[in-house]
Structure 1
Amino acid sequence: MEYDTGSTVTIINKIIWNKIGKPKLRRAKAPTTYGNNRIKIMGEADVKVQLNNNIKWLPLLVTQTNDAALFGFPWIIVFDLALPKNVKINMINNRYKYNDNGNVNIDKLYKEFATVFDNKLGLIKNVELVKLQLEEKTKPIALPARRVRN
């Protein structure tokens, strides 16, 4: 999935929806893109999402096309995530078997990617060093996500 702080919804395509067991869809309004194009959707589903030991039931939209999946701003807020600009959360490839609930064996992922989950500071490779110079009295601000019309 592409990590998109500008998206007001989380969206997956029909292929991913099939892979996660086709959770039941309900009718939903089709949002529009930033360029004001209507997104063709099949519907909306509530899905169980696990990030480390944090499990949430969250809504997502399913597109009729094979567009990129977006991890939208509402999910980012729910999981209290903060990642560097342009970092993507990639789909888990098909070497992992899904169970009847559309979930993968999390223990297998923890073992295979132990360094990702070890609670130590990490390093992003092939990125130039960034140095921010701020005035002492500078206060951080949070800007709202860009609007996606329903």
Structure 2
Amino acid sequence: MDAVDGPAEHARYAAHLAELERVPDADEAGLVAGVLADPDPVMARAAVVRHLDRRAAQLYPEPVWEEWAEAMARVVTGHPFLALRLEEWSLFRAVALGLPWRPDDLLAASDRLQLKAADGTTPEALRLLAESGRTKRIRNTARESLRRQAGA
């Protein structure tokens, strides 16, 4: 079904995603806030989480991360799922870049984050996840990443 032919929220979702992909950095926080004001809160959060994931994946190794994450944190206040997703990206950043992080935080993180970290971050995180990751898939992925790193 074409988004234009479907329900109105499908068309708005597609429009929000398109706007979020094109927004200049200076206007990003305002646009995210505008999307979150959409009359369909479930659809709005879905569009914003997709945007957060895309932008965080682009920005986490960059120096602008801190400023961006702070701006997004202000915008997603009052949206627990989005705030948690942003916090998990901050944890991933710390693990992936070898910044300070706590093992208990990684073990308490979502399966999604543990699997992302298990797919190749620091040896310390990989050993932790290989031994204590929440699922068999996470543990196996971490073990394989350790093998790849040892062979590199």
Aligning the two structures, in what range does the TM-score lie when normalised by the shorter sequence? Answer: under 0.3
Larger strand percent: 1
Larger relative contact order (Cα-Cα within 8 Å, sequence gap ≥ 6): 1
**What is the TM-score when the length of structure 2 is the normalising length?**
0.24
**What is the TM-score when the length of structure 1 is the normalising length?**
0.24
Larger helix percent: 2
